[in-house]
A and B are shown apart, each in its own frame.
Chain A
Amino acid sequence: MRFRKMSDRPAVGMEAQRGARRMIHRTSAREAAVLTVLAVGVGLASGVSAVVLESAVHQVMQVMVAFQDRLWIVAVPAAGAALSSLFLHRLLKDTAGHGVPELIRSSTFGGGALRPDLIYSRLLSSFLTVGSGGSAGLEGPIATSGGAIGSTIARLFRLNERRRSLLLGYGVAGAVAAIFNAPLTGTVFALEVILGEWSALSILPTIIAAVSATQFSRLVMGNKIAFLHHVFSFSTLDLFACIVLGVAAGILSVLFQRGLRFTERSFATLPVPVWLRAGAGGLLVGMLGFQMPSVLHDGYLAIQQFLGGFSQFTLLGVGLFVLLKFAASLLTLGSGGSGGVFAPCLVLGSGLGYGFGQLMRAVFSTASLATPSAYALVGMAGLVAGVMHAPLTGMFLVLEVTDGYDLILPLMIVAVMAMLTSYFFEEGSVYTRELIDRGELARRGSDQHLLQTMDSRELVDKEDIVLHESMLLGEFVEIFKKAKRNVFPVVDSQTRRWEGVVYLDDIRPYLFDATLYSIMTIGSVLHTDLPTIDAGESALSAIQKFESSRAWSLPVIEDGKFLGMMSKSTLFDRYRRELIVHTPE
């Protein structure tokens, strides 16, 4: 009644509406403020983990470099990868697979929940893999650790799933920002790759987390620019050349993704324990490394050589390097070694760019072109954009790690062309591909995400009328007088076990046929071929059952017992409401 009154006097109604909107706005502004404060802590914590891993691996690398001409060094990556795999699979029984896809899945589907041991497990395993010479990066594991730190802090504060997912993202931002000394990259990576959401609640605290993590790492490690370079200038001809480089980077990205899947599948069929597979991969990597030591580890030394212009490589040499690095990375990651794809992307991208630059020089020998080193830089952005489907991350990363804003135009071109090319062949990125295959990628607010998060129990129409098999038509007619529906559930009278449905349409012609009242049982008009919805099923799979059965209402069953009917109209009504709640104004 009050509602009616409000609409009678529109002025008052509008006033109330405006008041409500102000109130909600203030609540969400307050939430943004609280989350931003929390993000400082999350950023600092993930910064610590980044700094620790980074320094540990570099200590080990110093030692290994001294022995790189001994034959036994071949076995070291094998031992490292095997140990890393034993640690993850035997000791921790970790099934989270690659770290970053798990972060993405958790932040959208899993309500931001992550195993707390991910805080250190990937750090240790990637330390073993990469430290011993495996060709992979530390950034993915560090991002995983940062995400787990955010998720765990959220759990400590008993935050809800939504906020836990956000804190996971802040943690990733902090970790990536700290390891690259690149706050913008951390921010953009978390938003573009992990959270996939651009709103006040995601952007503001993510920035702050990146700021605090970066500042912490600068205090400890110093404000180092990873790859110093000379000032480059790109002519118009260079920019056109960048289109070609972008396409080439895209193609290499597709090869990398497909090669990785192929290697993973091939190793998965080996009839040996998981840790032996990783060991076998490590051994092959060790042999490659014996031929060309620069393909081992994260490969940042090679990048420095390309960028500094003191690389000894001829065009052929660069080609060979890219090929071997490509193989070493696939073997390391595909065999079950632990590590990320960030570093291999940067190395391959810089190699590709450097080679491309040399080629350009050879072809257009008279024109004034950017140096091969300059092309090496923008090539890195291309591979990141192509492999991770993250053009913004690629651009900002190169901008920040080289401290070179003069590169922005070629970076933009290469990143866009690489992503465009790669997107042409691959629906998902190296991170999202397996999630897409499993149907586990749904960005917040998307149709699939909403449906997936709604539980069948929420959608049950509480059922007061149930029939039993032994009921006679005469009894049914009495019940029918009070009923509003056309489909009647039939359950066992004692156990409430589900038996089937009776359609009013079947019986309607006989409702007034008194000769059948005492002979026709409900059991004899039972339809049992209807699919049932399990109480734990999501609304998404319920919809699929409605679609395939063409039914208007389906029974929901819990442990064999009938819970109630779910009708299409209830489902869509709730879905509509859910859309309104979840869609920002």
Chain B
Amino acid sequence: MEQVSVKSAAELLNVSEKTIYRWIRQGVIPAIKLQGQYRFDQRELEGWARHNRIGSPMSVIEGQEEAVSLYRAVQLGGIHYKIEGDSPGEIFTQVAELLPFSPRLSPTFKETLHTTLIEREALVSTGIGGGIALPHPRHPRDWGLGEPAVGVFFLDHPVDFHAIDGEPVFVLFVLLCATVAGHLQMLSRVSHLVNSPQTRAYLRAQPSRTDLLERIRHAFPQDV
């Protein structure tokens, strides 16, 4: 018989010790008195808690900070050049083809991704101005990649994305994240990265893979 003290019973039931003592006094909780101390039979206590729907402690959707790294995400998503196409739809077909695929991805990954990117674009353009767009799926979803991925796609020729400033887009950062928190952190990093006029000019020059990755690493030194 596994025995539990008042203290651990309080932890188990997620109530204060005072509550446990009151329950003992009122005779509602099955307790045993051993050498002047109250003890509970663990199995009996658990059964009692289940019967009375008293929950065990569990954090209320605590936004656990995921350690995201744009550097790793871009490594995973890859940097791609000379993407052909005259509309966002055509370009997304290429994007879906070129993104990294692990065997864990579902067989309909490409179609699903393509559809959801277009749906998101239809809501509001992801073109943030200055020739840059940050396409991402309409809703966060677990793609099975294990970690967030950001694919960088330099277009063969600028394409109209109905961006806020009307400027045709020449580079895409496509974000694939499993969780809301991950998506927001990644989105925030990418938009800060491309926010400065210098970076935009630098991107227009289509830097090499290693060069771009280095620059990202320097921009977010705290990311591993």
On whether the beta carbons of A510 and B184 are closer than 8 Å, the reply is yes
On whether the beta carbons of A550 and B58 are closer than 8 Å, the reply is yes
Contacts of A515 on B, CB cut-off 8 Å? 128, 188, 191-192, 195
Contacts of B205 on A, CB cut-off 8 Å? none
| Closest-CB distance, A551 to chain B (whole angstroms) | 8
- Digitize B189-208: 1 where CB-to-A-CB distance is under 8 Å, 0 elsewhere: 00110010000000000000
Q: Which residues of A from 503 to 519 have beta carbons under 8 Å from B?
A: 503, 505-507, 509-510, 513, 515-516, 518-519
Interface size band for B:
20 to 34
Bound CA span A420–B63, Å: 53
On whether the beta carbons of B188 and A525 are closer than 8 Å, the reply is no
On whether the beta carbons of A523 and B180 are closer than 8 Å, the reply is no
On whether the beta carbons of A521 and B63 are closer than 8 Å, the reply is no
Contacts of A525 on B, CB cut-off 8 Å? 140, 180, 183-184
B74 adjacent to chain A (CB < 8 Å): no
On whether the beta carbons of A519 and B60 are closer than 8 Å, the reply is no
Q: Which residues of A from 29 to 59 have beta carbons under 8 Å from B?
A: none
On whether the beta carbons of B184 and A506 are closer than 8 Å, the reply is yes
Of listed A472, A506, A507, A524, residue having the most chain B CB within 10 A: A524
B20 adjacent to chain A (CB < 8 Å): no
- Digitize B123-150: 1 where CB-to-A-CB distance is under 8 Å, 0 elsewhere: 1101010000010111110000000000
Quick one: given A519-B128, A521-B120, A550-B58, are A526 and B139 in contact (CB under 8 Å)?
A: yes
A68 adjacent to chain B (CB < 8 Å): no
Number of residues on chain A facing chain B (CB within 8 A): 28
On whether the beta carbons of B139 and A524 are closer than 8 Å, the reply is yes
B105 adjacent to chain A (CB < 8 Å): no
With contacts defined as CB atoms under 8 Å apart, how many contacts are there between chain A and chain B in the complex? Answer: 75
On whether the beta carbons of A547 and B55 are closer than 8 Å, the reply is yes
A95 adjacent to chain B (CB < 8 Å): no
| Closest-CB distance, B28 to chain A (whole angstroms) | 12
A469 adjacent to chain B (CB < 8 Å): yes
A520 adjacent to chain B (CB < 8 Å): yes
Bound CA span A528–B60, Å: 16
B164 adjacent to chain A (CB < 8 Å): yes
Quick one: given A470-B124, A515-B192, A527-B180, are A520 and B60 in contact (CB under 8 Å)?
A: no
Q: Please name the residue on chain A nearest to B127 by beta carbon.
A: A519
- Digitize A519-562: 1 where CB-to-B-CB distance is under 8 Å, 0 elsewhere: 11101111110000000000000011001001110000000000
Bound CA span A469–B191, Å: 21
Contacts of B120 on A, CB cut-off 8 Å? 521, 523-524
- Digitize A449-491: 1 where CB-to-B-CB distance is under 8 Å, 0 elsewhere: 0000000000000000000011010000000000000000000
Q: Please name the residue on chain A nearest to B192 by beta carbon.
A: A515
On whether the beta carbons of B164 and A518 are closer than 8 Å, the reply is yes
Q: Which residues of A from 123 to 157 have beta carbons under 8 Å from B?
A: none
| Closest-CB distance, B184 to chain A (whole angstroms) | 6
Bound CA span A505–B180, Å: 11
Quick one: given A506-B181, A509-B184, are A523 and B191 in contact (CB under 8 Å)?
A: no
Contacts of B82 on A, CB cut-off 8 Å? none
On whether the beta carbons of A550 and B61 are closer than 8 Å, the reply is yes
Contacts of A544 on B, CB cut-off 8 Å? 53
On whether the beta carbons of A524 and B191 are closer than 8 Å, the reply is no
Residue of B128, B137, B192, B195 touching A518 (CB-CB under 8 A) = B128
B187 adjacent to chain A (CB < 8 Å): yes
| Closest-CB distance, B64 to chain A (whole angstroms) | 11
Bound CA span A543–B54, Å: 11
Bound CA span A508–B154, Å: 32
On whether the beta carbons of B140 and A524 are closer than 8 Å, the reply is yes
Contacts of A551 on B, CB cut-off 8 Å? 60-61
Quick one: given A470-B124, A503-B61, A550-B61, are A524 and B183 in contact (CB under 8 Å)?
A: yes
Q: Please name the residue on chain B nearest to A526 by beta carbon.
A: B139
On whether the beta carbons of A519 and B63 are closer than 8 Å, the reply is no
On whether the beta carbons of B181 and A516 are closer than 8 Å, the reply is no
On whether the beta carbons of A523 and B138 are closer than 8 Å, the reply is yes
Quick one: given A521-B124, A544-B53, are A505 and B140 in contact (CB under 8 Å)?
A: no
Bound CA span A511–B189, Å: 15
Contacts of A469 on B, CB cut-off 8 Å? 123, 138
On whether the beta carbons of B184 and A519 are closer than 8 Å, the reply is no
Residue of B58, B61, B192 touching A505 (CB-CB under 8 A) = B61
Quick one: given A506-B180, A506-B181, are A550 and B60 in contact (CB under 8 Å)?
A: yes
On whether the beta carbons of A520 and B140 are closer than 8 Å, the reply is no
Bound CA span A539–B79, Å: 54
Q: Please name the residue on chain A nearest to B134 by beta carbon.
A: A519
Bound CA span A551–B58, Å: 11
Residue of B136, B138, B184 touching A507 (CB-CB under 8 A) = B184
| Closest-CB distance, A555 to chain B (whole angstroms) | 15
Q: Please name the residue on chain B nearest to A503 by beta carbon.
A: B61
On whether the beta carbons of A547 and B184 are closer than 8 Å, the reply is no
Bound CA span A552–B61, Å: 10
On whether the beta carbons of A516 and B187 are closer than 8 Å, the reply is yes
Contacts of A543 on B, CB cut-off 8 Å? 53
| Closest-CB distance, A169 to chain B (whole angstroms) | 29
Contacts of A521 on B, CB cut-off 8 Å? 120, 123-124, 138
Bound CA span A192–B118, Å: 67
Q: Please name the residue on chain B nearest to A518 by beta carbon.
A: B164
Contacts of A509 on B, CB cut-off 8 Å? 184
Bound CA span A232–B191, Å: 98
- Digitize A198-224: 1 where CB-to-B-CB distance is under 8 Å, 0 elsewhere: 000000000000000000000000000
On whether the beta carbons of B187 and A519 are closer than 8 Å, the reply is yes
Bound CA span A387–B126, Å: 72
Contacts of B195 on A, CB cut-off 8 Å? 515
Contacts of A527 on B, CB cut-off 8 Å? 180
Q: Which residues of B from 29 to 63 have beta carbons under 8 Å from A?
A: 53, 55, 58, 60-61, 63
Bound CA span A231–B182, Å: 87
On whether the beta carbons of A505 and B63 are closer than 8 Å, the reply is yes
Residue of B53, B58, B187 touching A520 (CB-CB under 8 A) = B187
Of listed A505, A519, A551, A552, residue having the most chain B CB within 10 A: A519
Contacts of B164 on A, CB cut-off 8 Å? 518
Contacts of A520 on B, CB cut-off 8 Å? 184, 187
| Closest-CB distance, B176 to chain A (whole angstroms) | 12
Sorted nearest first, the 6 A-B pairs with minimum C-beta distance are: A470-B123, A515-B191, A525-B180, A506-B180, A505-B63, A519-B128
Apart from the given pairs A515-B191, A520-B187, A524-B187, 14 other A-B contacts in the complex at a CB distance below 8 Å? A503-B63, A505-B63, A510-B184, A516-B191, A519-B191, A523-B120, A523-B123, A524-B138, A526-B140, A543-B53, A550-B55, A551-B60, A551-B61, A552-B60
Can you offer 30 A-B residue contacts whose CB atoms are under 8 A? A470-B124, A472-B124, A505-B61, A506-B63, A506-B181, A509-B184, A513-B188, A515-B192, A516-B184, A516-B188, A516-B191, A518-B128, A518-B164, A519-B128, A519-B187, A520-B184, A521-B120, A523-B123, A524-B138, A524-B139, A524-B180, A525-B180, A525-B183, A526-B139, A526-B140, A527-B180, A528-B139, A547-B53, A550-B55, A551-B60
- Residue ranges of B at the interface with A (Cβ–Cβ < 8 Å): 53, 55, 58, 60-61, 63, 120, 123-124, 126, 128, 134, 136-140, 164, 180-181, 183-184, 187-188, 191-192, 195
